Every structure is written in C-alpha cells, then in structure tokens.
Amino acid sequence: MARYITSIEAFEEAKKHIPGGVNSPVRSFKNVGGNPLFIASAKAAKVYDIDGNEYIDFVGSWGPMILGHSHPDVILAIQKAAAKGTSYGAPTLLETEMAMQIKKMVPSIDSVRMVNSGTEATMSALRLARGYTGRELVVKFEGCYHGHNDSFLIKAGSGALTHGTPDSPGVTRGTAESTLTAKYNDLDSVKQLFDRYGEQIAAVIIEPVAGNMGVVVPEKDFLQGIRNLCTKYGSILIFDEVMTGFRVARGGAQERWGVIPDLTTLGKIIGGGLPVGAYGGKQEIMDKLAPKGPVYQAGTLSGNPLAMAAGLTTLKILEQNAGFYDMLETKAARLENGLKKCLADLDFPGVINRVGSMFTLFFTDEKQVRSFDDVMRCDTNQFAHFFKYSLDNGIYLAPSQFEAGFVSGAHTDRDIDKTIDAGYNALERLKK
C-alpha cells in the first residue's frame, strides 16, 4: 500500500475501496465539512494524525478511553494475553473473571453474556426479552440509538440522525410495525403506549442518559416512571448503558439515578478500547439463553481473550481508584463552567448539557435541551463552524452536533484550560 503524506490523500484513496471512505458513517466529517483526520497514534489525552498534528481528544474512541489512550497497564495486559494466543473459540478463566467483575460493579446483573459490540448486545437483549415474555412489541425513544439492528433504526440518533436518515432504507415494514416510539423525557407518551398495547409490549429499551442525540439528561421521576410501568405490565426494562456504563458512575446510570432495570447492555469501557459488548440482568431472564434455555445467541469471538484482558484491567483500575470519579467530575465541571462563561461573556446562544464526564454543547436559542424536538432545533451549521475552528486550535471534538464528548482521567487542567480558550476563540469567530 502506498505511503500517504496527508489525511486528504488517504481519504481519497479510502473512498475507492470503502463505502464513503470510512467504516462508520459519522467519521466521514460529511456534516461538518472538510476531510476526516487519519489517526497515526494516540497517548493519554492526545491523538496524532498522519499529517503530524497533535489534538486534545474529547472523542475518546466514542467513549471507551476513560483512562486515556494507551494506558500502560491496559497495553501490558493486551500484550500478555496476545503472547498466549489471540482467540480460542473456547472458554477461558478471563471470561469468568470479567463476569464476576461486572456483577460486582453493577449489582442488578446476576448473570452476563459477553458479545462483540454494543449493537450485538442490544439486539440480543431484545431477542431475549421477546423470548422471555412471549411478546413482540418493543418501545424505544426518539433520538436514542441502540446500534444498527433493524429494530432500532426507527427515529434513531447518532450517525443515523447526523446523516438525516433516522428511518433507514432496508428496514422492513414488519420490523417497523413491531417498534413503538415514545418521546424522551415525556412519561405521558410512554403511558399512552402502555394504555393501548400494554399486554403486547415485551420490553422498553432506553439510554438512561441519552448520548446519541447529544447528551440529554433524564428529568426527575422519568426513569422511575418507566420502571413502574414495566413492572405493572410485566414488560422488561432494558437500560442501554453501552455509553453510560462505568462512565457516569462506577455502577453506571442505574447507580446514579437509583433505578434498577431488568436487563443492562454494556460495551465501550468494558473492552478497554477493544471491540466488545455484553448484556446481563436477572437470573430468571438470563436462564432463557441457550444452552440453558431456548433463546439462541452465539458468537465466534465472544469473550475474546484480548478484549477480556483489556476490559478487566480497565474495570479493576476504576474500582480500585477510590477518587477516580470525583476527579473526573472535577475535570468535566471545569470544562463545562469554562465554556458556559465563554457563552455568557460573548452573549452567545447555546446550552451545555453534562452528566459526569459526558457533555455536549448545543447551538440553540432555547434555554434548555431536554428532548428530541429541542435537539432538532439546534443550529448544525453553527456547530460545523465551531468544530472546524476548534480543530484549527488543536481540539478534537466529535464531528456531529448529535454526539457526546468525553473527558478522560488523562486530561490535565492545562488541557481543559486550553480547550476553554480555544472554545472562546471559536465562538468569537462565529460571532463575527
């Protein structure tokens, strides 16, 4: 393969061989203009592109890098595991240890099944819920993204929202008809669906903190209200904590809000940067899975030893560092408050939503962003300019208004302050 000097040249070549030149749509920079960066390496809170540029990274591989890039303990664990073999397609002690670690940190999980991605976790949890209840209908929420399985590409967020195709071609009418859509932070919309379809609803799946339409925070009693409805009608409550798991608290959003789901899907952080997913929950539900029960799900690389080694090392560091989440909260609050001051000083309209180390700056005239409708009124053109100006100043944000940013344990106060200064400069340019 030829050696490319610039990201632009690399992207042009990639487009000849890969649809759109990327292997996940939002990476294309299509909605912010320009060309994507081709990353050469990453360390701590920085990424380095093949053009020789350094950036402070708030993408963090879309969430997994809570410790920062190339954490030495995680790299060492991967190297040790790889030296013994990269895949066996057979049980290992690491898988059991990982399951025990997840159960310890997320008490609602009695039993857990490892898979290879967040999408695989959510689609498997959905099948399990249908198999357990004998029902077909599923409730999801506008703007919440649960991977690219057909059932979830109805009013979806993340890349589907970014690219203007929330109802994706290729999803069959039958699949769409079995997916009911409610409004995030609108409990009445959920009640209306249960009033009409309650005995037919197998499950409600939700991002307890929405992250795939940008960060949208659940309002008081919203999650508990959904929990109550699921209990009343015998439906399975699934928390999609692929993004929030071990991110917004050691035990995820369910720990932070004190609402206990029946099933939880996990990913990102539990792989320490390697491909991974998991789903788990109440024993009686999980016992329906093959080989113990009739609901079939399988995967050649499930429980891959490299991913287990990286993820287990990451989770143990998070568990054993008593002050880690307080430290992360302090860093993220410093960034939030600094950007809010920039908006205020420049009298620039915008809203910053943050939960723990997840954040989004929305470009909007609204006073708050609490729903999918609020998100859709944001100015994506302003965001595109802000993204470009930030990138010019060495700050790497997610290339979409509809994504979360992530603060890691590797970000320093100097990184945060430089980001705030860059944000002020970007907003000042927008103001002109």
Any idea which residues carry the catalytic annotation? 145, 240, 268
Q: Name the strands in the sheet holding 277-281, side by side, starting at the edge strand that comes first in the sequence.
A: 111-115, 277-281, 263-267, 236-240, 201-206, 137-141, 179-182
Strands 236-240 and 201-206 come out as parallel
250-257: Cβ within 8 A, 24+ apart: 250/105, 250/318, 250/319, 250/325, 251/105, 251/106, 251/107, 252/106, 252/208, 253/208, 253/209, 253/355, 254/106, 254/108, 254/208, 255/106, 256/355, 256/356, 257/208, 257/218, 257/223, 257/224
Please say whether the beta carbons of 95 and 308 come within 8 A. yes
Whole-angstrom distance, CA of residue 220 vs CA of residue 266: 24
Please say whether the beta carbons of 163 and 30 come within 8 A. yes
Whole-angstrom distance, CA of residue 76 vs CA of residue 285: 36
Q: Could you give the C-alpha distances from 218 to 56, 145, 164, in angstroms and in order? A: 29, 15, 24
Please say whether the beta carbons of 257 and 208 come within 8 A. yes
Please say whether the beta carbons of 359 and 405 come within 8 A. yes
Tokens of 281: 């929950």
Query: Cβ–Cβ contacts within 10 Å for residue 123, how many?
Result: 23
Whole-angstrom distance, CA of residue 372 vs CA of residue 364: 13
Q: Report the chain's C-alpha Rg in angstroms.
A: 21
DSSP annotation string for 394-431? TEE--SSTTS-EE--TT--HHHHHHHHHHHHHHHHHHH
Tokens of 67: 């410790």
Whole-angstrom distance, CA of residue 375 vs CA of residue 368: 10
Could you check whether the bond before residue 349 is cis, i.e. omega within 30 degrees of 0?
no
What single-letter amino acid sits at 73?
D
